[in-house]
Amino acid sequence: MTVDRDNIKVIILAGGFGSRLGDETQKKPKPMINIGGMPIIWHIMKFYSSFGFNNFIHTLGYKGGYIKNYFMNYKRNITDTTIDLATNQITYHNNNIENWKIHFLDTGLDTETGGRIKKAMEFAPGKRIMATYGDGLSNVNISELLRFHKSHGKLATLTAVRPPSRFGEINLDNNQVLNFKEKNQIGTGWINGGFFILEPEVIEYIPSYSTPFERYPLETLSEKGELMAYKHKGFWQPMDVKREKDFLEKLWSEDNPPWKIW
C-alpha cells in the first residue's frame, strides 16, 4: 500500500485544562507534562513520526503559548550550540533534528474536542486526517490502522482499546493474597482510545465548535454505519491523574517503554 504520508496531517488535541493532574497543570498545559524529561506531546509525535507521519496540527487552548514557545525554541534547546556574541551568529552542531512540520492553531479556551477537530479540518480542507488526544500513549500499529481504515471504505475509524487498570490486580484464595501485580489491560469491554482516522466528510458531522467529538459526531457516524473500530489489544495508557503519570514515568525509567519504537 502506497501512502503519501506528507499529505496526511496528524491532529493532536492539546487544548484541555487537565485539572485532575493538580498543581502541575497550573503552570503548563497537560500535553507539556514531562515523561522521562520530555513532554508527553513529544512522545506522541515521535511515535507517529516512527511510521513516517511528520505533519502535525496542534489544536491549542489552555496555555497554548507554552506549547508554541517550546517548539519554536526546540532546536536551540536540545542541540549543542555555539554563539558568536560579536556577530550574533548561532551555529547548531547536531543534525539529528526531527523532520517535523507543526501547525499551531489557537482553537479557543473552552472549545470542545469536536470543535478543535472541526477547526483543524477547516485548516486542512478536503484531506484525510489522523487525530488523537494529547495525553495518551500507545503502541498501536499506525500503518496497520491506516490499512484497516482504507480497507473498509467508511468515513471514520477509531482505535478501540481495553481500559487500563487503575489499581493492582489481586488474586485471592480465602482472603489470602496469592498474587499482586500491576496489570496493563483488564476486562472484556472496549473503549475509545483515540488514534482516529477521518475522511474529510466527517466535518459535516460536527455542527459547532461547542460539540464534543465523542457525543453527536461519533454517535451519528455510528448510527449511519460510517464508524469502524480497529481493535488494539496491546499497550494503551491515558494520563488523566498523577498515578497514571507516575506509571508512565516508571515504564520509561525501566528503559523499555512500550510506545518507544524509535
- Tell me, yes or no, whether 262 lies in a domain: no
CATH number of the structural domain spanning residue 189: 3.90.550.10
> Measured between alpha carbons, how far is 139 from 32 in angstroms, rounded to an integer?
20
As a whole number, the mean pLDDT across the chain is 88
Q: How many CB atoms lie within 10 A of CB 63?
A: 21
Q: Taking the model in full, what pTM does it have?
A: 0.88
148 phi and psi angles, rounded to 5 deg: -60, -45
- For residue 113, give the C-alpha cell: 474536542
- Tell me, yes or no, whether 94 lies in a domain: yes
**pLDDT tens column, 56-107:** 999 999 999 999 999 999 988 888 999 999 999 999 887 788 999 999 999 9
- Tell me, yes or no, whether 72 lies in a domain: yes
Q: Is 195 left (phi over 0), alpha (psi -120 to 50) or beta?
A: left
Contact in structure between 111 and 62 (CB atoms under 8 Å): no
- Tell me, yes or no, whether 258 lies in a domain: no
**pLDDT tens column, 101-116:** 999 999 999 999 999 9
- As for how many domains the chain has, the answer is 1
pLDDT band at residue 190 using 50, 70 and 90 as cut-offs: confident
Q: Which of 47, 30, 48 is nearest to 39 (CA)?
A: 30
Percent of the chain topping pLDDT 90:
74
Domain hosting residue 244, numbered range: 5-253
Q: Which of 89, 12, 92 is nearest to 57 (CA)?
A: 12
- Tell me, yes or no, whether 260 lies in a domain: no
The pairing of beta strand 236-238 with beta strand 136-138: antiparallel
Q: What is the pLDDT of residue 255?
A: 83
> Measured between alpha carbons, how far is 117 from 129 in angstroms, rounded to an integer?
10
